[in-house]
Amino acid sequence: MKRITKGLAAAGIMTALFLTGCSSGGDDGQVTIELFSNKSENFDTYNGLIEEFERQHPDINVELEAPPEAETVLKTRLVKEDVPDVMSIGGNATYGELARAGIFHDFSESDVLDKVQPSYLEMLGLLVGSEDDGIYGVPYATNANTVIYNKQKVEELDIEIPQTWDEFIAALETAEEAGELPINFTLQEAWTAMPIWNGIAGNDVSEEFPELKNQGQATFVEAYDRVADKMLQLLDYGRDDNFGIGYNDGNNSFANGEGVFYIQGNWAIPDVLSANPDVELGTFALPSSNQAEENDLVSGVDVALTVSEDTDHKEEALTFINFMAEQEIAQRYIDEQSAFSAFQGVLQEDPIFDGIRRNFEEDRLTGFPDHFYPAGLSAENLIQGFLIDKDKQTALQTLDNEWDKVINR
């Protein structure tokens, strides 16, 4: 297996390649393995699934950890030679970084991969790089970058679901003229700008941008010029202070009728419904292009399941992976999480997602652009700053400069 140490050696992560694992065997013959999750949102779902797994496998005990700032915690643990047995992590640059370092088990020969939609395997492969043909994680749950809308308000305003950018702007104008808040922004928290950024860039910027950028053949200044313009255009349809409300408060206000549209991921929907179970919601892909047929749904690997290469209990860890891949279990996960499955035949049937179901059925999907940005770029903070200052040229040049700094460390 190739091990690429650039960018990892300085952090000491490569020392984790020689560890013996953090799991243990009890005196009663029961083996304990750890499941590390980067999402606090799925904590209750995992607890329920672990109970089921332990009933089926009484000789294996699973301990769940889902700390805040999970990626930072995981990297710190790697430095301390403390790698979890099983990891449930996002399909982003950190996954690619750790996979290249040899931290993860290679699933290339696993039958589990036969169940996975090819597009999601390709996304994980791109994160690792074309020079390595290993498959170091099982795409499990996927997400969607959507426009969530209040069905009642859309019907009252006689708005047809927009298929193009101009139609979307016209819908926002209609909402504004009726005295409604067109878009519910929650930009007090920097990360909430990213669903908007990704929703536009996913169809507007070439998927080859990260590779070309690393080769010095592309820049944010050129490739993201229209993306920046469109983001600024959308700001005009928010609150007087788009940065005065955060994610949780924004979910609550949208649930209770403030806003016609909300550009967020499917992950926000359970929180919105928790605040108001009676609100009627729909979703559609952000139509960032004026060519309707080019407006694919931005989707990515929200949860990849993987196993430590050097765990002392690989058989038990892989048994847990196989359990998670069972159709009934995979269906239970996406139903509880309002998510989508990377597995063929495991379908999200909630009518809220009727407007994007066709994208999954026809594989009209494109990846999250920021999943391919280098770890450490802190794009969300730079983009939030851009939206506050509205200085497009400076912001895009800063993104270029910071990207170059990160990859040249």
Which pLDDT tens digit goes with each residue over 360-375? 888 888 989 998 998 8
| Closest by Cα among 134, 138, 125, 53 to 88 | 138
Tokens 């050696």, located at residue: 9
Task: Give the per-residue pLDDT at 363.
Answer: 80
Number of folded domains that form the chain: 2
The verdict on 245 and 379 lying in the same domain is: yes
Q: Decide if 119 is inside a domain.
A: yes
pLDDT one-digit tens code per residue, 140-195? 999 999 999 999 999 999 999 999 999 999 999 999 999 999 999 999 999 999 99
The verdict on 262 and 393 lying in the same domain is: yes
Tell me, rounded to whole angstroms, the distance of Cα 276 from its chain centroid. 25
Q: Decide if 196 is inside a domain.
A: yes
Distance CA 371, CA 227 (A): 17
User: Percent of the chain scored above 90 by pLDDT?
Assistant: 76
Write the DSSP assignment of 362-383 as a string of letters: TT-EE--GGGGSPTT--HHHHH
The verdict on 89 and 153 lying in the same domain is: no
pTM of the model: 0.82
Q: Tokens at residue 21, please? A: 């694992």
Task: Give the per-residue pLDDT at 247.
Answer: 95
The verdict on 33 and 110 lying in the same domain is: yes
Task: Give the per-residue pLDDT at 13.
Answer: 42
The verdict on 115 and 150 lying in the same domain is: no
Distance CA 155, CA 166 (A): 19
The verdict on 113 and 127 lying in the same domain is: yes
Distance CA 274, CA 374 (A): 35
The verdict on 152 and 116 lying in the same domain is: no
Task: Give the per-residue pLDDT at 8.
Answer: 41
Lowest-pLDDT range of 39-53, 70-84, 126-140, 316-330? 126-140
Per the model's pLDDT, the better-predicted residue between 171 and 28 turns out to be: 171
pLDDT mean over 57-85? 93
Task: Give the per-residue pLDDT at 375.
Answer: 80
pLDDT one-digit tens code per residue, 221-274? 999 999 999 999 999 999 999 999 999 999 999 999 999 999 999 989 989 999
pLDDT mean over 280-285? 97
Burial of 190 (0-12, 13-18, 19+ CB in 10 A): middle
The verdict on 105 and 244 lying in the same domain is: no
Contact (Cβ atoms closer than 8 angstroms) between residue 336 and residue 330: no
The verdict on 135 and 150 lying in the same domain is: no
Angle at 33 between CA 69 and CA 88, to 5 degrees: 40
| Closest by Cα among 407, 306, 311 to 95 | 306
pLDDT(1) > 70: no
The verdict on 225 and 373 lying in the same domain is: yes
Distance CA 346, CA 228 (A): 36
Q: Residue 273's CB: how many other CB atoms inside 10 A?
A: 16
Q: How confident is the model at residue 27 (pLDDT cuts 50, 70, 90)?
A: low
Which range of residues forms the domain containing residue 162? Answer: 144-298+369-407
Q: How confident is the model at residue 21 (pLDDT cuts 50, 70, 90)?
A: very low
Distance CA 287, CA 293 (A): 10
pLDDT(87) > 80: yes
Q: What is the CATH number of the domain that holds 334?
A: 3.40.190.10
Task: Give the per-residue pLDDT at 2.
Answer: 29
Angle at 236 between CA 232 and CA 238, to 5 degrees: 110
pLDDT mean over 283-293? 95
Q: How confident is the model at residue 20 (pLDDT cuts 50, 70, 90)?
A: very low
The verdict on 137 and 199 lying in the same domain is: no
Q: What separation in angstroms does the CA of 386 have from each of 153, 382, 383, 392?
A: 31, 6, 5, 7
Average pLDDT, the chain: 91
The verdict on 36 and 131 lying in the same domain is: yes
Distance CA 203, CA 63 (A): 40
Q: Decide if 361 is inside a domain.
A: no
Distance CA 402, CA 190 (A): 17
